[in-house]
Homo-oligomer: A and B are copies of this chain.
């Protein structure tokens, strides 16, 4: 067995020269040898004296490494039988080479161009301004800001900043005490779904066109979703009945058709909520980006007792921040905080402080203004490029538009987009499976998604794909 020790020693020596401490390096090498099976279970190790001599290191170093591995269970040391590799050190891992489904995947090249909706232009993230807000925020933060925090609602600095911003920019009737920070819209919706279920709500209305991930999230929480009709005035809130306990709406800019919910439809929603005790969840995902018409304020202001306002930094700044906020009616606050619970304090206090500073310093407004110009210019270029070939709607606001296609051509246009190496979604994708909507062939074009440098070729790919 001496030769194997020699090899072993050489291996160890290689490891030991890698700059770690001697003992730590030796211990790791021994651990790896036992783990990999190179040192079989039951194998007796050389005495610390002889291994130390082999390796030219102090005997004590070897003895300490052995003791460490005995403490960890890799080795056993028994009087009279020396130090051996423990039985349970035998490798039992499902070999690392086995491909785990859902696990490591071979790198896949995505399409060259993307107009998938739902993302802002990530190249527009204001890195320098964000860092300088972070510097100011971290420098000023009290020590307790780095702790667990006493409050499931999140940092008071950000709740305070949002209260002012939301009142000013979105007409939201907020109050720092009723703002609950969350990790984006989907997280907020998950919490609200739990609250609704706890209140024995079983059915909830959603817009006939919307995101399947939101519907699935509600279904997963045990809520059946009932689709409302959607037309040029937004969701048909007059269809709301006492049979549903809540409704999810996108009043400022229906997703994805792009309509603003009309005053009459807003009134109908609030009347329904007051009459039935139902709750309105207002998804104000891109309310900041309105171009032509006057700003459309949030529905929430009409009845802050019946409307939960949900906002997010995912469109205005970046989804990677995982930062959203809810303005919660007083009667719902306890339930939301209970649903949030101890395990769910989610977003980083550092980012919360940074965003608070970003808003109060005016950097948020500046950023939104700059991005609004960028998106508006793209929207105008989109209209100029394809507006004479297809009808374009939903363009008064937001980061996407709907391009109406001749009846029955949606699939073939999607196919021809794929040939152009362009990722884009058809309107059918957003349809609730039970929705009684008139047939409509259209593309949902997320013109906010490309980076500035990719925009022109992406637009050209779209133009080439259209009939």
Contact = CB atoms under 8 A, between A and B. Distances in A.
A76 to B, nearest CB: 7
B346 A183 contact: yes
Contact of A302 (B88, B98, B267): B88
B168 A305 contact: no
Interface residues of A, number: 113
Given A92-B274, A123-B143, A302 B334 contact: no
A129 B61 CA distance: 33
Interface in A168-203: 168, 171, 173, 175, 177-178, 183-184, 186-187, 189-190
B68 A297 contact: yes
7 contacts: A68-B296, A93-B304, A98-B330, A147-B320, A183-B183, A348-B348, A351-B351
A56 interface: no
A166 to B, nearest CB: 12
A421 interface: no
Interface in A300-352: 301-306, 314, 318-323, 329-331, 333-334, 337-338, 341-351
A169 to B, nearest CB: 9
A171 B346 contact: no
A269 to B, nearest CB: 9
Contact of A295 (B68, B74, B451): B68
Contacts of A323: 348
B177 A35 contact: no
A394 to B, nearest CB: 16
A28 interface: yes
Contacts of A64: 294
A419 interface: no
Contacts of A27: 171, 297
Interface stretch (A44-52, A132-140, A382-390): A132-140
Contact of A146 (B296, B318, B334): B318
A299 interface: yes
A147 B119 contact: yes
B147 A343 contact: no
Nearest to A322: B348
Given A134-B131, A167-B28, A349 B321 contact: yes
Interface of A: 20, 23-24, 27-28, 31, 35, 64, 67-74, 76, 86, 88-89, 92-94, 96, 98, 100-104, 118-119, 122-123, 125, 127, 130-131, 134-135, 138-139, 141, 143-149, 167-168, 171, 173, 175, 177-178, 183-184, 186-187, 189-190, 213, 216-217, 220, 260, 262-263, 266-267, 270-271, 274, 294-299, 301-306, 314, 318-323, 329-331, 333-334, 337-338, 341-351, 451
Contacts of A171: 27-28, 31, 72
Main secondary structure on chain A at its contact with chain B?
A: helix
Given A72-B301, A348-B351, A351-B348, A86 B342 contact: no
Given A122-B144, A127-B138, 15 more contacts: A69-B297, A72-B171, A86-B267, A92-B303, A93-B304, A100-B333, A103-B178, A130-B138, A130-B350, A131-B131, A131-B138, A148-B314, A149-B319, A320-B348, A348-B348
A104 B190 CA distance: 24
B102 A333 contact: yes
A319 B148 contact: yes
B320 A76 contact: no
A31 B348 contact: no
B330 A296 contact: no
Given A103-B330, A171-B72, A266-B72, A186 B322 contact: no
A349 B322 contact: yes
A275 to B, nearest CB: 11
B103 A320 contact: no
Across the A-B interface, the 7 shortest Cβ-Cβ residue pairs: A320-B349, A146-B318, A186-B343, A102-B334, A73-B266, A104-B177, A146-B320
A148 B295 CA distance: 28
Contacts of A118: 148
Contact of A183 (B143, B213, B345): B345
Nearest to A130: B138
A122 B146 contact: yes
